[in-house]
Homo-oligomer: A and B are copies of this chain.
Amino acid sequence: MPELRKDPILGRWIIISTERGKRPTDFIIEENQTKGGFCPLCPGNEATTPKEVLSYGRKNPAPDTPGWSLRVVPNKYPALVIEGDLNKEGEGIYDKMNGIGAHEVIIETPDHDASFSHLPAAQMIQVFWAFRDRIIDLEKDSRFLYAMIFKNYGRAAGASLEHSHSQLVALPVLPRMIVSELEGSKSYYGYKDRCIFCDIIRQETRKDIRVVSRNEHFIAIEPYAPRSPFETWVLPINHHCSYVSTTEKMMESLTAIFSEVMLRLDACIPNVPYNFVLHTAPLRSETLNYYHWHFEIMPKLTSIAGFEWGSGFYINPVPPEEAAKFLKEAEI
């Protein structure tokens, strides 16, 4: 059973993931891993994954068989496990809880060689629907407070499988980053009576030096203080705190802008490794007038080194105004 442990000074939680238990020598071997070979996410290999929790597009009713256009399965090597009750306990001055949670893999396409950036709209929109469907399903489990949805693309960004996929981790605690975001935006609302994200969208639209693209329902911007070169945020233009409220029209608009942003990024820096993360309200949250859901896309172009570890500061060699210009001018 994995364990959640809290740093007693900073209150930062870490997951000791025993399911992935490693000896020192494992780290040496990992560097030399070869690509290719058997892919558990490919059609025909459904039996090698844990049983699917969602699929789209299959005409026959049998689960875990080929014919799907998108498939969601529990992670075979989960960071957290779904079975059991949540137990919190102390260990002297330390605090821990058992590692209850869900860890799922969203297999974005049956095509092993397809890349997310180049998915046709009809396929990419399924990924965005799957995110919503899984959040709605996991909301029913009262042990979970948050569903974190993210994608790692490329080895440098932490991906260990080639086949295009994203991930979902449902957590029994609110992640520190989301707590900080909720606190920060709530404090701004208390002072201004306006959502800070709505204010950012207004100022960015007016200045128009960090906007990458805009369509009916969404805007893509380079944030004012980006951690990494070409960091890009995609936000609904109107105020919505939760991804769950996304309508069909909005999904189409989201797919169009997301696809455009990914193609522009790929045109600027071909095959760039990246992470994206969905930032949305906690599970079963009431409507929040101060919080605004969005995606943060982070190309992996700089290292997290001693300075970043020690300070929590990031050094970024590309001003977001320049990144926006490069992205807008890229030919796609």
Question: Which residues from chain B contact A184 at a C-beta distance below 8 Å?
Answer: 8-11
B14 touches A199 (CB 8 A): no
Contact B158 A310 (CB under 8 A): no
For chain A, the bracket of interface size reads: 35 or more
Residue A259 at the B interface, CB < 8 A?
Answer: no
Q: Known: A18-B319, A225-B5, A317-B20. Contact between A167 and B307, CB under 8 A?
A: yes
So how many copies of this chain end up in the complex? 2
Known: A17-B316, A175-B313, A229-B22. A306 touches B9 (CB 8 A): no
Smallest beta-carbon distance A331→chain B, Å: 13
A320 to B180, CA, bound (A): 27
Q: Give the distance in Å from the alpha carbon of A5 to the alpha carbon of B316 in the complex.
A: 11
CB distance from A63 to the nearest CB of B (A): 27
Known pairs A13-B225, A14-B226, A93-B196; A306 contacts B27 (CB<8 A): no
- B298→A309 contact, CB < 8 A: yes
A293 within 8 Å of B (CB atoms): no
Bound together, the chains give a CA A185 to CA B91 distance in angstroms of 18
Closest to A327 in B: B24
| A279-296 to B contact mask, C-beta < 8 Å, 1/0 | 100000000000000001
Closest to A184 in B: B9
B14 touches A277 (CB 8 A): no
A220 CB → nearest B CB, Å: 17
If the complex has contacts A9-B185, A9-B196, are A158 and B276 also in contact, measured as CB distance less than 8 A?
Answer: no
A-B contact pairs, 8 of them (CB 8 A): A7-B223, A7-B225, A8-B196, A12-B227, A21-B317, A93-B199, A175-B312, A176-B313
Contact with B along A131-161 (1 / 0, CB 8 A): 0000000000000000010111000111100
The chain B residue sitting closest to A157, CB to CB, is B305
Given contacts A27-B301, A28-B269, 16 further A-B contacts (CB under 8 A): A8-B225, A9-B197, A16-B316, A18-B317, A22-B317, A22-B318, A94-B203, A150-B307, A158-B304, A158-B306, A169-B307, A176-B313, A178-B310, A180-B312, A276-B306, A277-B306
Scan residues 150-201 of chain A and give those whose CB is less than 8 A from a CB of chain B: 150-152, 156-159, 167, 169, 171, 175-178, 180-181, 184-185, 188, 196-197, 199-200
